[in-house]
Structure 1
Amino acid sequence: MHIKTSNQEELSLGFGEYTCNWGVHICGLYETAEERDDIIFSFFHQGAKSNDKQLFSPAEQTAEDFTEKYKSRYPEFEHHILNPDLFSVINAKELYYSDGTFSPITMDENLEKFFTESQKFGRRNIRASAEMVWALEKIPGIEHLMAYESRLNYFISGKPWISICLYNITKFSGKTIMNVLQTHPYTITGGVIIQNPYYIDPDEWLKQNDPEFAIK
C-alpha cells in the first residue's frame, strides 16, 4: 500500500508492504520492545537492501546490543552495518547533547553537516531513526525537544531523507505524546502507517508553543 508523503521518489518502508516517498518525518509509537524492533529492524533491513545510508540512535538498548541483534537477524548484511559509510549507530548523548545541553539549533546544524557530507559524491538516500526515551532525563534544554521535532519537518522537506522517531507510550506522558503527534505528519502504530490528523504545520506550532525557535 502506498502512502503519498511528498512528491519525491517512492521507497519501501520494509514492513506491512507499505511504500511512501522520501522527505518525510514519522513517529513510531509502541509499547513493547518487540513492537519497536518490528519497526526498526524491518526499516533498516530494507535500507540495506536498497544500499541507503542509515543512521540510528539507540537509547533503550546499547549500540553494541543493536548491532549484534542486527547481525544475528541479517547475517548476509553484516558488512552493511559494520561499514561506517553505510550505517552510523550513535548513542543518544553523542547525537543529541554531546556537550551536556540539548539545543534545536545545534541539532539543525549537526544534521545539516551530516546531510552535506553524505551527498558529497552524489545523491544518497538516508534512513534515520532514534529511540527517544533519552529525553526523559533531566537534560538542560530538553524543554525544547518538541521545537526540534517541529523544525525537523523543515529540514527533511525536499531531501532524500526519512526519519522515524520512536516513542515508547508506556514511558511518556499523555501530554508529551500529544505534542509528538502535533509535530509528526505521519504515525506508525501497530505496524500501520497513517497520515496524522493531529499534525500542526511547524509555522503555526512553533509560533504557538515555542516562538523562540520559529523560523523568522
Structure 2
Amino acid sequence: MNKQTSFSVCGESLSAPMHICGFFDSREQQYEVIIPYIMEGLEANNKVINILEGDRHSEHCRCLAGNGISITEKLLSGQLEVLASENTYIKNGEFAAEKMYKMLEQTLLSASRAGYDSVRACGDMVWALKNLPGTDELLEYEARLNLLTPQHSVSLICMYDINSFSQSAITDALLTHPYVIKDGKISKNPHYVEPLELLSSISNSRSGALKS
C-alpha cells in the first residue's frame, strides 16, 4: 500500500487512498464541493485531474479561474489536467473498461515519478447516460478501482447528477464507493461491497446468464 496523505472534502479531513461517489442535484452544489478540493490539491503539490464533457471545459476553466486558480500556469506545468470524457472514458465512442483502467494506472505511476505527493481526480459520470457500447462494464470497472487505489496515494471523486441517473444506477454506484457525498456532506457508505466479493458476484451473474 502506498503512503497515506491527508486531504479535505466537504470540510472533513480524510486520508488518501480514497474512492468517493458524489451525488449532486445542481452544478452549483458540485462546484461548492470540488473547488476547495481542487484548490487545496494545487497548493499541496498534488496532481489534479478533472474529466468532464468537452463542451464544459471553457465554463469549468472560467469557474476555476474565478476562484483564484492560475489556470494557464497550472495547465502548462502539467499539475492540472482538464480532460474530455470523449478522450478518456468513451474514447472512440465506447467505454472500454480495461483501457480506461490501464490509462488511470499509468497516470498514477507517471504522477509519482514526476514528484507529486498525491493525485486528486474528479470525473463527471454523465457520459454513462449515453448508453454507448461497453457502458454495462461500469460496475465492474468501479469495483476494480478499489483494488487499484490502495496501491497509490490518490483520491477519486466520481460525480453523479442525481436528477439524471436512474435509481438502479445510483444503487450500483453505492456498491462500489467506500465513501459518499450527499447534500454537501461526506460519510462512510454503508452500502459499499468489498471489490473481490462484488467482482465474484458479477462473474457468477454473467455465468448464470450464459447458461440460461
User: What amino acid is the match of 1:11?
Assistant: S
Partner of 2:171: 178
For each residue in 1:148-185, what CA deviation from the matched residue of structure 2 results, as whole angstroms up to 9, or x when unmatched?
11111111113110000001111101111011000001
Which of 56, 59, 82 pairs up with 2:75? 82
Q: What letter corresponds to residue 72 of structure 1 in structure 2? A: G
Structure 1 or 2: more helix by fraction: 2
Check whether the contact 1:144–1:210 (CA below 8 A) recurs between aligned residues. Answer: no
Q: Compute the RMSD of aligned alpha carbons.
A: 2.2
Change (3 A) 1:65 1:206: same
Unaligned runs of 5+ in 1: 1-5
TM-score, length basis structure 1: 0.87
**CA 1:82/1:128 → structure 2, altered by over 3 Å: closer, same or farther?**
same
Check whether the contact 2:89–2:100 (CA below 8 A) recurs between aligned residues.
yes
Distance 1:104 1:212 in 2: 18
Cα distance change on mapping 1:91 and 1:7 into 2, 3 Å: closer
Greater length-normalized contact order (CA 8 Å, ≥ 6 residues apart):
2
Picking from 2, 7, 28, the partner of 1:34 is 28
2:7 partner letter = S
- Determine if the alignment matches structure 1 residue 15 to structure 2 residue 13: no
TM-aligned CA distance change 1:48 to 1:14, over 3 Å: farther
1:51 aligns with 2:59: no
Match of 1:3 in 2: none
Pairwise CA distance, 1:71 = 0.5
Shift of 1:100: 2.1
Verify the 8 A CA contact 2:47 2:116 in the aligned structure 1.
no
Shift of 1:81: 3.6
> Within 5 A, what are the aligned runs for 1:48-127?
48-59=42-53, 62-75=56-69, 77-127=70-120
Q: Is the 8 A contact 1:29 1:168 kept in 2?
A: yes
Measured in 2, the distance between the counterparts of 1:15 and 1:136 equals 26
The count of residues paired between Structure 1 and Structure 2 equals: 206
Rounded Cα–Cα distance in structure 1 between residues aligned with 2:55 and 2:162: 17
- Aligned letter for 1:184? H
Look up the equivalent residue of 2:102 and give its one-letter code: E
8 Å CA contact 1:10, 1:22 repeated in 2: yes
**Contact kept? 2:52, 2:83, Cα under 8 Å:** yes
Deviations 1:57-78 (A, max 9, x none): 1239611210111001115x33
- Counterparts of 1:143-154 in structure 2, within 5 Å, are 143-154=136-147
- Structure 2 stretches of 5 or more lacking a match? 207-212
